[in-house]
C-alpha cells in the first residue's frame, strides 16, 4: 500500500479578513541598562542574517473568560524584556561585518488584530502552508531589516471563537531556536503570574568569539563557495507539508539493515530518506555532488557545557556530501552513514574553528549549490508554550526555506486529523519537482522490507 503523507485540510482554500491596529513598540516594563553589546562571531555569519517566522494556534479557554490575550501577552512581553533587554534594542554593523546590539530600550514591534474566522474553519489539521499568513504576521514598514529594525515582530490575532493566533518573527542573527524558546518560555511564565523566568537569560557571546590567533582546524565543507552557472533558477516554488506517523517511520526503518536500524535516531533515518528522494526528484546529474546539512545544537558539546540560559546562536550545520549517483543508487544506509558522520563532527573545537573561519574568510554564507539544510524542531517545545490558555494546537515553523534560500526543511511535531502523533516535514521545491518528490516518497516505502 502507498502511504499518504500530505496533510490535506479545508484550510488550503480558506479565505478570511483581518483587522489590524497600528503597529506599536513595546519597551521593557522597567529601565534597563543602556549599553552596547557585541554579538559572537557565529552570530555574525551571512546565513543568519534573516527573519524567521513562527506561529502558535490556541483554543478558547473558558477558565480565562474576561481576560484579553492581547493585553496579557503585551504586559508579559514588557516584563520579559526587562530580563531580555537586548531584544528591545537595535542591531548595528561595525567594521568587518561584526554585529553589535545597541541596547536602547526602543522596543519590539507589536500588532493587535482580529479575524472573522474560527479555529475550526482551519480544518482538522493545522499545518503549513497557512492560508492568509501574511495577514497573521503583518510585515510592518521599516521592520524587515536585519540592522536598525525591531529585533522581534509579534502579532496577536483574536478569533471569533475566542481562540487566538500568536505569530512571531525573530532576527536570527540575535538568537537561535533554543534562544527563542527560552525567551518565549519567559513570556508565558510571566503571563501566568511568575515574578521572573525560571531560566534567566545569559549573554556571554564572548564564548564564541574568534580566538586571538584564529586557526581553522576543521574541514568546514558546509561553507565551500561553489558556482552553479549551468542550472536555470526556478521561480515556481511550492510549499508542502508531509506527515510521517509511526507507520511511515517504521517503513523507512524497514529499508535499513536490522543492526543499523537499532542504532539510528528517527531524525537521522528520516533526513537520509528525504535527502535521497529529493535528489531523485531533482534529477541531479549522477556525477554532481549534493549535500545535506543538518543543524546541530552544540551547547552540550562544550566542557563545561554552555550556560543554560544562553540564547545566542550555538550550532553548526555540518555537511553530508555524496555524488547524486551514489546517493540514489546505493541502499539507504549509505546516505544514512554520511549523515551520522557529519552530525558526529560537531564538537567544542569544531565551534571554535567555525568562529575563526568567520573572521578569516569574511563571514561567508553556507554552501547553497546542490545543498539542502534541515532543522529538527520536534523537541524544541513550541507546542508547550502556554500563556494561560493551554498548550498550542500547532506551534512552530511557518514554512520551509528562509530568506532567499528555499532549500531548508523543517521537522515539526504534529498530530494528524486522527490524533496520531508524528513528524511534519516542511518542504519547498519547484512545482513539478514537488510532484516527483511526493511520488518518490511513496515509491520507496512500497519497497520497505526487512530483507537484510
One of 124, 285, 384, 386 is an active-site residue; which one?
Answer: 386
Residues 306 and 451: their CA atoms lie apart, in Å, by 44
* Whole-number pLDDT of residue 276: 97
C-alpha cell of residue 198: 525560571
- Phi, psi dihedral angles at 164 (to 5 degrees): -155, 165
Report the length, in residues, of the chain.
452
Residues 268 and 161: their CA atoms lie apart, in Å, by 40
Residues 452 and 220: their CA atoms lie apart, in Å, by 34
One of 5, 172, 352, 411 is an active-site residue; which one?
Answer: 172
C-alpha cell of residue 233: 533558477
* Whole-number pLDDT of residue 448: 52
Residues 297 and 223: their CA atoms lie apart, in Å, by 18
Helix intervals (H) in 345-426: 348-360
* Helix, strand or coil, per DSSP, at residue 69: helix
Taking every pair of Cα atoms in the chain, the longest distance, rounded to a whole number of angstroms, is 66
* Whole-number pLDDT of residue 403: 72
For residue 313, give the nearest of 3, 20, 43, 41 by alpha carbon. 43
* Whole-number pLDDT of residue 229: 56
Residues 153 and 26: their CA atoms lie apart, in Å, by 10
* Helix, strand or coil, per DSSP, at residue 219: coil
Q: Can you name the residues that pair with 371 across neighbouring β-strands?
A: 291
Q: Which tens digits make up the pLDDT trace of 395-438?
A: 999 999 887 788 999 999 998 878 889 999 999 999 999 999 99
* Whole-number pLDDT of residue 73: 98
Residues 17 and 121: their CA atoms lie apart, in Å, by 13
**Residues 193 and 87: beta-carbon distance below 8 Å:** no
Virtual CA dihedral for 261, 295, 245, 52, nearest 10 degrees?
180
Dump the DSSP string for 136-184: HS---TT---SSSSBSEEEEEEE-TTS-EEEEEEEETTT--HHHHHHHH
For residue 43, give the nearest of 175, 146, 212, 148 by alpha carbon. 175
pTM over 0.95: no
Q: What is the pLDDT along the chain (452 residues), one digit of tens a residue?
A: 344 444 443 345 788 999 999 999 999 999 999 999 999 999 999 999 999 999 999 999 999 999 999 999 999 999 999 999 999 999 999 988 899 999 999 999 999 999 999 999 988 668 888 878 899 999 888 888 899 999 999 999 999 999 999 999 999 999 999 999 999 999 999 999 999 999 999 999 999 999 999 999 999 999 998 877 566 666 789 999 999 999 999 999 999 998 887 889 999 999 999 999 999 999 999 999 999 999 999 999 999 999 999 999 999 999 999 999 999 999 999 999 999 999 999 999 999 999 999 999 999 999 999 999 999 999 999 999 999 999 999 999 999 988 778 899 999 999 887 888 999 999 999 999 999 999 999 876 665 544 33
Residues 248 and 150: their CA atoms lie apart, in Å, by 41
Q: Is 310 exposed, middle or buried (0-12, 13-18, 19+ CB in 10 A)?
A: buried
Whether 172 sits among the annotated catalytic residues: the reply is: yes
Residues 352 and 334: their CA atoms lie apart, in Å, by 30
* Helix, strand or coil, per DSSP, at residue 42: coil
C-alpha cell of residue 30: 522597567
* Helix, strand or coil, per DSSP, at residue 65: coil
Residues 423 and 245: their CA atoms lie apart, in Å, by 6
**Residues 268 and 343: beta-carbon distance below 8 Å:** yes
Strand locations in 279-393 (E): 289-294, 296-297, 315-316, 319-323, 371-376
Residues 437 and 440: their CA atoms lie apart, in Å, by 5
Whether 135 sits among the annotated catalytic residues: the reply is: no
Amino acid at each position: 500500500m502507498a502511504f499518504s503523507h500530505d496533510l490535506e485540510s479545508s484550510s488550503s482554500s480558506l479565505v478570511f479578513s483581518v483587522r489590524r491596529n497600528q503597529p506599536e513598540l513595546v519597551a521593557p516594563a522597567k529601565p534597563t541598562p543602556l549599553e552596547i553589546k557585541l554579538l559572537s562571531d557565529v552570530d555574525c555569519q551571512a546565513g543568519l542574517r534573516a527573519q524567521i517566522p513562527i506561529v502558535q494556534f490556541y483554543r478558547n479557554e473558558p477558565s480565562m473568560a474576561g481576560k484579553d490575550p492581547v493585553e496579557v501577552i503585551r504586559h508579559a512581553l514588557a516584563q520579559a524584556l526587562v530580563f531580555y533587554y537586548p531584544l528591545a534594542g537595535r542591531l548595528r554593523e561595525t567594521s568587518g561585518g561584526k554585529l553589535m546590539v545597541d541596547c536602547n530600550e526602543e522596543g519590539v514591534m507589536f500588532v493587535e488584530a482580529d479575524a472573522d474566522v474560527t479555529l475550526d474553519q482551519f480544518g482538522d489539521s493545522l499545518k503549513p502552508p497557512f492560508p492568509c499568513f501574511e495577514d497573521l504576521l503583518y510585515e510592518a514598514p521599516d521592520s524587515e531589516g536585519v540592522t536598525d529594525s525591531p529585533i522581534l515582530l509579534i502579532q496577536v490575532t483574536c478569533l471569533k471563537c475566542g481562540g487566538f493566533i500568536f505569530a512571531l518573527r525573530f532576527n536570527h542573527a540575535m538568537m537561535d531556536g533554543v534562544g527563542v524558546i527560552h525567551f518565549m518560555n519567559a513570556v508565558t511564565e510571566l503571563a501566568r503570574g511568575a515574578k521572573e523566568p525560571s531560566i534567566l537569560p545569559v549573554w556571554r557571546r564572548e564564548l564564541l568569539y574568534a580566538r586571538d590567533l584564529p586557526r581553522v582546524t576543521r574541514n568546514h565543507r558546509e561553507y565551500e563557495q561553489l558556482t552553479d552557472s549551468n542550472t536555470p533558477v526556478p521561480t515556481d516554488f511550492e510549499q508542502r507539508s508531509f506527515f510521517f506517523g509511526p507507520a511511515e517511520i517504521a517503513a523507512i526503518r524497514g529499508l535499513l539493515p536490522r543492526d543499523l536500524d537499532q542504532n539510528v535516531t528517527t531524525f537521522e533515518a528520516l533526513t537520509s530518506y528525504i535527502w535521497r528522494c529529493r535528489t531523485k526528484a531533482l534529477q541531479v546529474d549522477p556525477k554532481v555532488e549534493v549535500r545535506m546539512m543538518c543543524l546541530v545544537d552544540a551547547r552540550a558539546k562544550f566542557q563545561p557545557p554552555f550556560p543554560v540560559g544562553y540564547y545566542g546562536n550555538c550550532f553548526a550545520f555540518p555537511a553530508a556530501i555524496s555524488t547524486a549517483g551514489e546517493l540514489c543508487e546505493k541502499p539507504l544506509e549509505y546516505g544514512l552513514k554520511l549523515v551520522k558522520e557529519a552530525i558526529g563532527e560537531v564538537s567544542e573545537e569544531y565551534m571554535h574553528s567555525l568562529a575563526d573561519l568567520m573572521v578569516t574568510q569574511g563571514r561567508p554564507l553556507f554552501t547553497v549549490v546542490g545543498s539542502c539544510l534541515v532543522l529538527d524542531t520536534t523537541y524544541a517545545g513550541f507546542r508547550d508554550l502556554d500563556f494561560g490558555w493551554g498548550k498550542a494546537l500547532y506551534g512552530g515553523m511557518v514554512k520551509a526555506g528562509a530568506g532567499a534560500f528555499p532549500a531548508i526543511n523543517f521537522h515539526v511535531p504534529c498530530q494528524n486529523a486522527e490524533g496520531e502523533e508524528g513528524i511534519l516535514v516542511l518542504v519547498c521545491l519547484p512545482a513539478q519537482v514537488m510532484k516527483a518528490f511526493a511520488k518518490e516518497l511513496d515509491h520507496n516505502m512500497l519497497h520497505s522490507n526487512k530483507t537484510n
